[in-house]
């Protein structure tokens, strides 16, 4: 029942989850190894070939799966009873359309304006800031604005506080007794569901009153309007549960990526200098009140290489799970039906076979054609690739533009430790000393 769950958690808390993967690849096979996690038999697929196999065989050999302890946090009992495969297909279609490149271009000015307001309110007055909590505040407020059309800071806080409990506890030991982090996450999930149901009720009222034009641009309204060929719409609790997962994914992983971009820019001044040069060229080409647009984003090539190298070394997602829907064979081993599979970027991102001198921070790895296929996989791949990957790219680049053109900084704790929860996090929140640029820079 326990298997290697405790050992995996222990290694992750020490900041080296890749040790768990790489040690077993070395001991057993570079392609595949067996373990037991969360009371389930697991086949862990490794390397570029393993990634390609899982990404390419969705619905043929494997299908999406989540551990029960995560479902208990993310979904209510009612939503688990009412959701069906057609609901999942509809939801993914709505999400993919919402996060398409064409649709996201309209969000760039909003992202830029909110980043400017965030830095002015929460960074500029202070000489020292903690990057992780502030980046989470920014990405969550942005998600509330774009996903639900919520702008009131007090309303955002009502969501943010219980979400903090969820993200802190959902990957902790799943002991559901009062006082544990997991129990606090379960309770916070119920609070979030009720808040979301209240928002859904209000949006439905607006739709009935033909006021949809005031909110039709947000993700939640699009989910409420989704129906099948018979005109059936989804149960409100199903929408609320699915939406909660999107909110977590929409801000937690990008917060981690932004935090580590700031970390690496502090550690490598020559990289910061190149990013600053690229972003200042864009800034100088614009008027005082002009906001960023799609053409500006396309010019941020080096900055995106830096962000990619950041996600290679500190991937925001540690991987996802699948379930075998039939017996199948891979590299000579049979994976029985019902077994769970796991893929992780940790098997390739720091693997010297794919990235020479893997611990070195080197954005040039992403120049030209970049890494070999299926080796750099921060967003997964195949039919289940993260639909929000372009949203994350825009959010990271817009924030980089604003923070780099406004500040220099240095780390307050040079050797701050890294722990892993849903994503890698600096244990002290990455405190940095800010140094505003001199006028004329």
112, burial (CB in 10 Å: exposed 0-12, middle 13-18, buried 19+): buried
Residue 337: count other Cβ atoms within 10 Å of its Cβ: 11
> For helices 236-267 and 153-169, what crossing angle results, to 10°?
80
Determine the Cα–Cα distance for residues 311 and 404; give it in Å rounded to an integer: 18
* Cα 183 from Cα 170, distance rounded (Å): 9
The helix (H) or strand (E) run that includes residue 129 is: strand 128-130
Cα separation of 18 and 345, whole Å?
9
Q: How many CB atoms lie within 10 A of CB 173?
A: 12
**Alpha carbon 184 to chain centroid, angstroms:** 22
| The residue to which tokens 């009131």 are assigned | 152
For 247-264, give one letter per residue: b (16+ CB within 10 A) or e. Answer: bbbbbbbbbbbbbbbbbb
C-alpha–C-alpha distance, residues 222 and 281, integer Å? 37
Answer yes or no: is 144 a known binding residue.
no
Q: Give the whole-angstrom CA distance, residue 366 versus residue 94.
A: 31
- DSSP code of 233? B
- The DSSP letter of residue 439 is T
Cα Rg of the chain, angstroms:
22
Q: DSSP letters of 321-379?
A: EEEESS-EEETTEEE-TT-EEEE-GGGTTT-TTTSSSTTS--GGGGSTT-SPTTT--TT
Q: How far apart are CA 296 and CA 283, in angstroms?
A: 9
Q: Cα separation of 393 and 258, whole Å?
A: 10
- What does the alpha-carbon distance between residue 384 and residue 63 come to, in Å, rounded to a whole number? 9
| Residue list for the binding site | 386
| Residue list for the binding site for heme | 386
């Amino acid at each position: 029942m326990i298997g290697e769950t405790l050992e995996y958690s222990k290694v992750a808390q020490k900041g080296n989850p890749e040790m768990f993967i790489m040690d077993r690849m070395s001991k057993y096979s570079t392609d595949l190894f067996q373990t037991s996690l969360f009371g389930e038999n697991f086949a862990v697929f490794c390397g570029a070939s393993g990634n390609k196999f899982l990404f390419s065989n969705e619905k043929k050999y494997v299908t999406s799966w989540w551990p029960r302890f995560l479902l208990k946090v993310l979904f209510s009992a009612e939503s688990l009873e009412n959701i069906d495969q057609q609901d999942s297909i509809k939801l993914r279609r709505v999400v993919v359309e919402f996060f398409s490149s064409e649709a996201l271009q309209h969000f760039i000015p909003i992202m830029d304006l909110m980043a400017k307001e965030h830095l002015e309110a929460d960074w500029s007055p202070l000489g020292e800031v903690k990057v992780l909590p502030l980046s989470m505040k920014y990405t969550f407020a942005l998600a509330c604005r774009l996903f639900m059309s919520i702008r009131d800071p007090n309303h955002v806080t009502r969501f943010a506080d219980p979400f903090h409990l969820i993200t802190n506890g959902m990957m902790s030991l799943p002991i559901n007794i009062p006082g544990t982090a997991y129990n606090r996450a379960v309770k916070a999930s119920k609070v979030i569901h009720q808040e979301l149901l209240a928002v859904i009720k209000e949006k439905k009222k607006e739709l009935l009153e033909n006021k949809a034009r005031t909110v039709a641009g947000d993700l939640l309204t699009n989910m409420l309007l989704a129906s099948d060929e018979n005109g059936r719409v989804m149960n409100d609790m199903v929408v609320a549960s699915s939406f909660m997962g999107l909110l977590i994914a929409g801000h937690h992983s990008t917060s981690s990526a932004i935090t580590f971009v700031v970390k690496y820019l502090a550690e490598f001044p020559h990289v910061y200098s190149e990013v600053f040069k690229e972003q200042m060229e864009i800034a100088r080409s614009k008027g005082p009140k002009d906001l960023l647009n799609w053409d500006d984003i396309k010019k941020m090539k080096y900055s995106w290489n830096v962000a990619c190298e950041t996600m290679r070394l500190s991937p925001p997602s540690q991987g996802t799970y699948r379930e075998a829907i039939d017996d199948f064979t891979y590299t000579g081993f049979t994976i029985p039906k019902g077994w769970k599979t796991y893929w992780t970027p940790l098997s390739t991102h720091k693997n010297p076979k794919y990235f020479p001198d893997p611990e070195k921070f080197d954005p040039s790895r992403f120049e030209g054609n970049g890494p070999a296929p299926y080796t750099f996989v921060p967003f997964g791949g195949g039919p289940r690739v993260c639909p929000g990957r372009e949203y994350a790219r825009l959010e990271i680049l817009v924030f980089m533009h604003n923070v780099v053109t406004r500040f220099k900084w240095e780390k307050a704790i040079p050797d701050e430790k890294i722990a892993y929860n849903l994503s890698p996090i600096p244990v002290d929140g990455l405190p940095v000393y800010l140094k505003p640029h001199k006028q004329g820079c």
